[in-house]
Structure 1
């Protein structure tokens, strides 16, 4: 870490879990997320990745933006703002959503937690206060409150995660279905657990007040001592989410309110999120533009690629022909997948070219010399990592 980064880190807020995380961050590998000091990795990113896939790990999601939306108009407001039908969401359930400008360009994605008939929590990666203020116009019987700093949250992911929570005393946790929410008494307060995550594996997210954060950490790590629990950072998260085929802002998409150049942002259909758009519900932001795009087809489509060889296609151009190299798209994220034993990527490809050949132009370094190769790509329909345990209720014992 250079001097500038070190002093920048001293100005960042610290998560309620920071005292425990700091002791374990042997590399002092910190960055920032929404004004919080945040771990890139703790000691070795690949070790942390294998904890997610083989045992379990914790990821601090306190910096994620959280908004409490409550009141008689809360459901109607959210239904106008997001593309999915919120009225179908049951109490103590979570759903994945996105929201768009009137031009159908995606502002952000996130999750909505329904905590009561008239109370929701919206979570997202970037601050959304300005857009929420615009979205509440015309809805007088509701309030929107930023509860980011009032809520400490840990993501617990991996095959041993359910067993660890049972060891912690949450005996009924095995009956919680994917995208479900459960509430437990916890040391004079309450603990909310959602069966959600960003790794494509079995996992949960734990939500408490900041005052109970260190207690939660200590109890959780005591329960997980024999089950391989370990913290993981942003680098391991990015590896796991890519295998699961999940999109990441600033990698797969640019947020529409932050772009400068025309159409350097994206639509849900371009990101293969058309299943999030429900035209059967009443009017919502971007409906007209999205309906036209559904009928005409998007310019680009996000796809999953299996690329021959083992040279990672990071930042590669994609071509329809190996020889003439006519550009048809570009890679957004790429890695060698240790679990799938494959060279994988997410990529944007011109929609009319999806049924043709795809080749990736890859540049790589070997012993201080740079080489080029053009590798054949195969478009895949399914995620590269999607174990059955992620969907099973109860999860299989580990």
Structure 2
């Protein structure tokens, strides 16, 4: 066997081994695997995550009726500290970080110099010069390049920090009975620290369900003991572990968007016409034009002034009860207007709802006579259905308990 043949064989082995490379396991995987009845896993940022654990429909109703526990450890997390941390993040993101108080969380987004959205996420201010940035995609090289001239330290802490989302009407009762005294005073988008097993857990009143809920972050070594603490306290409150399928239903009802699902990130887009500005994905309200210069500011404001925005993200209500995910949207049944990025039959509203990206002037000037083309399986054949759609406000579901402080005691 010559050197060339040996090299080729080595490359083939490397390719096979790459395919076989197992997905990483989150700090809570041991508990999730023990609860899993359907072995329905998917890959989230390289981690093995459950799409469902026992029954997607019942998992959804755990969110809306009792308490649901969802592993958010794969969410990408960056710790940003240093004397210039506030100034750096204010230069980076759309909202004014100077207005973000210690112990508060800010939903935000960030763009490239052309005003195209790179990602959206949550920014936690844990101290005067101590921030945690959580998002969908990895951005460390870009964050480091953007830090030139700023006195900041940036590091990824995704692996070392475990995260749980506790959502639903009895979520507060679970925390109360788990011994987190004073958590009832936590207002929406507030964050506070508690002692746990000789360490610290931070709890924020945030979530991705549009319901009463919290997110908890703890060092990896304390992850299982935190799970067990919540699970034990939650038994009397019908706590259930859930997968992404149920969470996705709830987030659509809440009108929340997901990167690379409802829009393509600027770094992930293969074609220029796939990129989106904040105003084109419903994030115009995040842009603070009065703060100092930030990435994409000129491009965003120029697009507004010159009226060159090309797309608009809308909520749709569709006749019938067949979900329209990925369906094409038409105007007057013949002019292609856009595409449904996410759609479900909403169990809470009893409506067929969707989030759609439309090409202007559809959705802005032309808002009537919209239709979606759905292909439904009927007796082993796909049947084409044209269903009328109307633009409706988001969120589709708005629950008073999400913001009530103190939360209802159940």
TM over 0.5: yes
**1:186 and 2:196 aligned:** yes
Q: How does 1:193-342 map to 2 (within 5 A)?
A: 193-295=203-305, 296=307, 298-322=309-333, 325-342=334-351
Structure 1 residue 356, shift from structure 2 partner = 2.9
In 1, Cα distance between the equivalents of 2:325 and 2:48?
Answer: 27
Aligned residue number for residue 384 of structure 1: 396
What secondary structure, in the 3-state scheme, does the structure 2 residue paired with 1:214 have?
A: helix
Distance 1:304 1:238 in 2: 15
Post-superposition Cα deviations, 1:322-371, rounded to whole Å, max 9, x if no partner, equal 3xx11111111111111110101000123322233211111111111221
Contact 2:368 2:390 in 1 (8 A): no
SS of 2:272's equivalent in the other structure is coil
The yes-or-no answer on 1:21 pairing with 2:32 is yes
Aligned to 2:93: 82
Contact (CA 8 Å) 2:311, 2:358: kept in 1 or not? yes
Conserved 8 A contact 1:48-1:232: yes
- Answer with 1 or 2: which has the greater Rg: 2
Partner of 1:149: 159
* CA deviation after TM superposition for structure 1 residue 382, in Å: 3.2
- After superposition, the C-alpha distances for 1:167-197 in whole angstroms (9 at most, x for unaligned) are 1111211110000001111111111100011
Preserved CA contact (<8 Å) 1:114 1:120: yes
Distance 1:9 1:63 in 2: 20
Q: Aligned match of 2:62 in 51, 56, 60?
A: 51
**Distance (Å, rounded) in 1 between the aligned partners of 2:71 and 2:50:** 9
Helix, strand or coil for the counterpart of 2:25? Answer: coil
Matches within 5 A, 1:96-107: 96-107=107-118
RMSD (CA atoms)? 1.6
What are the Cα deviations for residues 96-154 of structure 1, in whole angstroms up to 9, with x where unaligned?
A: 11111111111001110001111101011111101101110111x21111111111110
Residue ranges of structure 1 left out of the alignment (5+ in a row):
1-6
Once residues 257 and 251 of structure 1 are traced to their aligned partners in structure 2, the CA distance between those partners, rounded to angstroms, is 14
2:186: which partner in 1?
176
Give the whole-Å Cα distance in 2 for the aligned partners of 1:256 and 1:351: 20
Whether the aligned pair in 1 keeps the contact of 2:51 and 2:245 (CA below 8 Å) is yes
2:353 to 344, 365, 384: 344
Find out whether 1:395 has 2:407 as its counterpart: yes
- Describe the superposition over 1:295-344 as per-residue Cα deviations: whole angstroms up to 9, x where unpaired: 2152111001010111221211111103xx11111111111111110101
Is the 8 Å Cα contact of residues 361 and 373 (structure 1) preserved in structure 2?
Answer: yes
Which residue does 2:144 correspond to in 1? Answer: 133
**CA distance 1:124–1:244, change in 2 (3 Å):** same
The answer to whether the 8 A contact 2:92-2:294 is kept is: yes
Mapped pair 1:115 → 2:115:
no
CA distance in 2, matches of 1:149, 1:369: 46
CA deviations over 1:226-284 (Å, ceiling 9, x no partner): 11111111111111111110001221011111111122121111001100111100111
Residue 369 of structure 1 corresponds to: 381
The separation in 2 between residues aligned to 1:311 and 1:43, in whole angstroms, is 23
